[in-house]
Each structure stands twice: as structure tokens, then as C-alpha cells.
Amino acid sequence: MELLSMGGYGAYVWTAYALTFGVIIICVAQGRRRHRRVFDDLRSRLRAASERSK
């Protein structure tokens, strides 16, 4: 089936698509990770500050 070979251009086409989806996934993951990190960081700071003041 010409699915994989793409008329001989398979390597080019599939690499391009793989890169595209790879980058999209990286962007999504990076964004979520960063949000998580900022949130948790703030939380632990606040917790530490509130424990200190007890």
C-alpha cells in the first residue's frame, strides 16, 4: 500500500508529520508541567510561611 512509501517520498512525509506532532506534544506537556511547577512551588512556599508563623 502506498501508505508507508508515499510514492517513494515516505521518509520525507512521515518525518515531517512526526516532527510536527512531536512538537505539538512537547508544547502541551511543557505548558502543563510549567503550570504544575509554579502552582506547587507557590503552595509549598505558602505552607512553609504559614508553618513558620504558627
Partner 1 sequence: MWTFLHKLSSPPHFYDLAAKMIPWFAAGSLLLIAYGTVAGLFFAPPDYQQKDAFRIIYVHVPAAYLSMMAYVVMAVSAGIGLIWRMKLAHAVAAGAAPLGAWFTFLALVTGSIWGRPMWGTWWEWGDPRLTSELILLFLYFGYMALRAAIDDTARADRASAVLALVGAVNVPIIHFSVEWWSSLHQGPTLIRVGGPAIEPVMLWPLLAMILGFMLLFVALLLGRVRTEVLFRERRSRWVRKLVYPEETA
Give the residues lining the site for partner 1 (CB under 8 A). Answer: 2-3, 6-10, 12-13, 15-17, 19-20, 23-24, 26-28, 31-32, 34-35, 38-39, 42-43, 46-47, 50
Smallest separation, CB 6 to partner 1 (Å): 4
Smallest separation, CB 54 to partner 1 (Å): 11
CB 47 within 8 A of CB 40: no
d(CA 21, CA 17): 6
Smallest separation, CB 52 to partner 1 (Å): 12
Among candidate residues 30, 29, 31, 36, the one with its CA nearest the CA of residue 44: 36
